[in-house]
Structure formats: C-alpha cells, structure tokens
Amino acid sequence: MSANVTTFNRGVVRPIECLQTGWGLIKDRYWLFLGITAVGLMLGSVGPLGILLGPMMCGIYLCLLARMRGEMVSFELLFKGFDYFAQSVIATLIHVIPVFLMLVPVYAIFFIQFMSKMERPRGRTRGAPPVDPSELYPMFATMSVLILVVMVVAMFIGAFLIFTYPLIVDRRLAALDALKTSIKAVLANLGGVLGLIVLNFLLSIIGLLLCYVGAFLVLPISFAALAVAYRQVFPAQT
C-alpha cells in the first residue's frame, strides 16, 4: 500500500449533480448493482465489529469505479474487495471501535438501573405489586436519547471518512493514510459533502416509507452518488 500524499480538488462536490450522475451511471445495470450492494451490506453485517464490512465496501466501490472506467462489471468483482482485507478491516475498526466504546457504558448503566428497580423488595416479595411501568419510562427515554447522541456522533465521524474505502482501492493507500486523506478532502469540500449526505438521508427516508423495501432500492443510487463525489474530488489518474 502506498503512503504517498494524495492530492485532491477543493469545493467541487455538487450534491444534486452527484445523484443525477450516479443514477445515470448505474440505471442500465440497476438490478446488478442492487444485488451487489444488498449482498455486500448483508455479508458485511455478519462478522463481529464489522470485520467483513470493510472488504465488502471495497468491493462495492471497486464495481462502481470499474463502471466509471467503462469496464464490464460482474457480480464476482464484489469479492475482489477481499484483496484489500487487512487495510479495509483496519479502517473499519478505527471507525467502529470508538462508537462501540461509547455504547458500552450506555448499555451498562441502563442494565444496572433496570436491575436495581426490578430487585427492589416489592419485586421479590410474594404478593407484592410489580414494578410500575411508569417508573421505567424516564430510564428508557434517557437511554434512547443517549443512543441517539451516539448515533449522531457516529454519523458525524462517518461523514469525514466517506472517501476512505475508495481511496484504499483506487489509490491503494494504507488505512491510516486513506483515513487522513479522506478527512482532509471532506474538510476541503465540506458543504458539498454534507449536502450529499443530507440528500442521501432524505432518499433513504423516502425508501423507508415504501414499506422498508424501498430503503434497499435506493442504496445503489446513494453509493453511486458517493462514488461520483469521490471522483470529483479525486480525479482518475492517467
């Protein structure tokens, strides 16, 4: 893996253009890319701590970047992401572990509080009334808010790392170099990147309104839009 500094363009991400170009990129092979995206994400969710997510993400971007070059894309290309297994796993763990470490104390505190309420004398004494569910509502509400905060932090971190996997497969950067380069590139294109993330989020909401199945149907478009944004920031090398 290369450790060379990778140059990039600044202020070039156009969110609506990314979505339009992304759709144009995959529309005539939509079902193939839907299968690639769905299988990639499902397999990526199998391993602990997302250990398979990195290779699958690399495989998805390999397919999209190959499509941009006008090359024939086959389903087997998805599994070429395992050629970048080590670096992609390192990148994934750097992203996932901090989120995991934030969630552990949240669940631990909730478990301790829940057990303390359930183990009160009235919960153990025969004939005593059960714990009033209303007493648990504040605890559940607090936990929900904390989890939401953690998820927002995770999304914020993820926004700065969106170019990591394509950098690994396209520029063959080591994980840490790809992460650092992605952060710098996003900061240099912050408005456009955030706008694209918001558009992709709205697209996902529309998909969820279609009985959840629609959320899968829009995934290839979202990934294609991100791949287009990547190519706007990191032009193809000649």
Top pLDDT among 210 and 92 is at 92
Residue 2: strand, helix, or coil: strand
Q: What is the pLDDT of residues 21-80, one digit of tens each?
A: 999 999 999 999 999 999 999 999 887 777 899 999 999 999 999 999 999 999 999 999
Task: Confirm if 105 and 98 have CB atoms less than 8 A apart.
Answer: no
Within 119-212, residue ranges assigned H as helices are 121-124, 137-160, 164-170, 175-188, 190-209
DSSP one-letter code for 128: P
Contacts (Cβ under 8 Å, ≥6 apart) of 213: 207
Of the candidates 54, 73, 48, the residue with the CA atom closest to the CA atom of residue 63: 73
Q: What is the pLDDT of residues 164-203, one digit of tens each?
A: 999 999 999 999 999 999 999 999 999 999 999 999 988 8
pLDDT band at 143 (very low <50, low <70, confident <90, very high): confident
Widest Cα–Cα separation across the chain: 79
Q: What is the pLDDT of residues 125-139, one digit of tens each?
A: 555 556 666 666 777
Task: Report the pLDDT value the prediction gives residue 56, as an integer from 0 to 100.
Answer: 96
Distance in angstroms between the alpha carbons of the first and the last residue of the chain: 19
Residue 173: strand, helix, or coil: strand
Q: Which residues of 208-237 are buried (b: 16+ CB within 10 A; e: fewer)?
A: eeeeeebbebbbbbbbbbbbbbbbbbbeee
DSSP one-letter code for 161: T
Task: Report the pLDDT value the prediction gives residue 154, as an integer from 0 to 100.
Answer: 81
Q: Count how many residues are written for the chain.
A: 238
pLDDT band at 117 (very low <50, low <70, confident <90, very high): low
Tokens of residue 177, six digits: 């170099």
pLDDT at 3 over 80: no
Q: Can you tell me the distance from the alpha carbon of 94 to that of 101, in angstroms, rounded to the nearest whole number?
A: 11
Task: Report the pLDDT value the prediction gives residue 136, as an integer from 0 to 100.
Answer: 67
Structure pTM?
0.83
The residue behind tokens 């706007």 is: 232
Task: Report the pLDDT value the prediction gives residue 5, as an integer from 0 to 100.
Answer: 56
Task: Report the pLDDT value the prediction gives residue 123, as an integer from 0 to 100.
Answer: 47
